[in-house]
Structure 1
Amino acid sequence: MASEKLHSNKENLEVLYEDNHIIIVNKRPGDIVQGDKTGDKPLSEVVKSFLKEKYNKPGNVYLGVVHRLDRPTSGIVLFSKTSKALPRLNKLFQNKDAQKTYWAVVKQRPPKDSDKLIHFLKRNPKQNKSYANIKEVPESKKAILEYRLKKELDNYYLLEVDLQTGRHHQIRSQLSAIGCPIKGDLKYGFDRSNKDASIHLHARELKFEHPVKKVPVHIVAPSPKDAIWNSCLD
């Protein structure tokens, strides 16, 4: 697991956008968005602590979790600061009106430089893993993404992925299914883990209409600082 100093706390929290209704942060690999059986402090509580201190709030801080990112993944996470905004944001994501773009670093060059992938994902809760099937199988859910080869690195390839559905481990599973597991992702077939237990999958961009102001919001999250991510920006 990533070392504690890499995890978010209220002092090092990277806030990408904030107003009266929403707050958007850049999640570090290793952070969990919501509490789970590990008992580790989730990012939602870190954001609450940040807001409580910033605004000197005496009581409990309201914060609604709109969506999640896998623990080893980095990038954009959106929270609601008001009970008015939360159902509107939930509806936005349910109706696929939020445009989510990810960066993924893979070892193998994909079969095509750009493609639309359609699979039927079946989740195995015991393994916490989703299996991609070409044809529909019982209890599977349709998963759609589009990718394009953005950059050739020395030993890897940077893919830009537009997510059209939001399934469990969707990008990880679908890229693995075409022979392109994400760097560091042992669960989906990469040959070795990253030292900090991260994977090279980053929620890079988010575009949506503000739930209250009704104006476009476009957020870009800086990628983590390591040699490979840095080479993606050169």
Structure 2
Amino acid sequence: MKPKILFEDNHIIVVLKPPNMLTQGDRTGDDNLLDYLKAYIKVKYEKPGNVFVGLVHRMDRPVGGLLVFARTSKAASRLAKQVKDRTIDREYICICKGNPPSQFTLRDFLYKDREENKVCLVPSYLRKGKEAILHARTIRYIDDSALVAIRLETGRGHQIRAQMSGNGFPLLGDMRYGDMNEKGQIALWGIRLGFLHPITQQKMIFFSAPKFDGFWQNYWRDIEGLEGNWPVISPQYPYRGRA
């Protein structure tokens, strides 16, 4: 699966990242989305020299879904402010083990072990963790698993995976955070993205469901129904998680 360009103008580019592709390059040297977009713009618009593409937010390698990139430094700065101010909407669906509450908020403190490339939950008093908050609503339960819609308030690396696992609901297929059944990818998808256009200030909303295969088949009818009826995930629910 190749990246899919959903929208582009002179200021931004919105793309569907396939699972198992890096958002940006790392020491592995594997293909990454940032370099892909630079090459795409260079060829399409016959740009000489280096091409600017600004990274606004990231997505873990095994995860697929929607990302926005900036095409100018001004757009990058304004989108970065939306991320900092927590006004950009990043919404995901996942399938987790167990039966989580019908609606819940997780507030934890995350610490990344760089040698293990793994994030763990730590008590707030240690002062080495970064605050992570997500809001969620369970869409459907099937046996001992559930389809959950999640809205990120913060955007930490491995946040959804670490928080869900640390609170007793590991994602299907996620070997790193508690599922022992290897699936080739994990049951997590960036399904909806909303932000203000950095130049026009128009509200931009994008929705893209995962492919009808693998983990998602049993929940496909529910996923299809989300586009026109996205569940409003309120931040007012009582916190569940470590403070």
- CA distance in structure 2 between the aligned counterparts of 1:136 and 1:94, rounded to whole angstroms: 24
Structure 1 residue corresponding to 2:202, chosen from 211, 215, 221: 215
Alignment of 1:131-142 (within 5 A): 131-133=120-122, 135-142=124-131
Alpha-carbon deviation of 1:137?
A: 2.2
Pairing 1:105–2:92 present: no
Equivalent residue number for residue 28 of structure 1: 18
Q: Tell me, which stretches of 5 or more residues in structure 2 are unaligned?
A: 222-243
> Does the 8 Å CA contact 2:212/2:220 hold for their aligned counterparts?
no
Q: Percent identity?
A: 37
1:160 Cα shift? 0.3
Q: Deviations over 1:114-135 (max 9, x none)?
A: 1111111122111111112354
AA at the equivalent of 1:201: L
Q: State the distance in 2 between where 1:135 and 1:64 align.
A: 32
CA positional deviation for 1:231: 3.3
* Ranges of 4+ aligned residues in structure 1 off by more than 6 Å: none
CA–CA distance in structure 2, aligned partners of residues 54 and 72 of structure 1: 28
Change (3 A) 1:154 1:50: farther
Residue 189 of structure 1 pairs with residue 178 of structure 2: yes
Give the C-alpha shift of residue 65 in structure 1.
0.9
The offset of 1:225, in angstroms, is: 3.9
2:8 pairs with one of 3, 18, 24: 18
Ranges in structure 1 where 5+ consecutive residues have no aligned partner: 1-5
| CA displacement at 1:107 relative to structure 2 | 2.3
Q: For 1:30 and 1:62, how far apart are their aligned partners in 2?
A: 24
- Offset, 1:136: 3.6
How many residue pairs are counted as aligned between the two chains? 221
Shift of 1:21: 0.5
Q: Contact 1:16 / 1:221 at 8 angstroms: preserved in 2?
A: no
Deviations 1:137-193 (A, max 9, x none): 231111111111112346631100111111121111110022110111111111212
Q: Does 1:232 align with 2:211?
A: no
CA distance in 1, matches of 2:218, 2:38: 34
Query: What is the match of residue 132 of structure 2?
Result: 143
TM-score, normalised via structure 1 length = 0.88
Q: Distance in 1 between matches of 2:83 and 2:170?
A: 26
Q: Partners of 1:153 and 1:219 in 2: how far apart?
A: 28
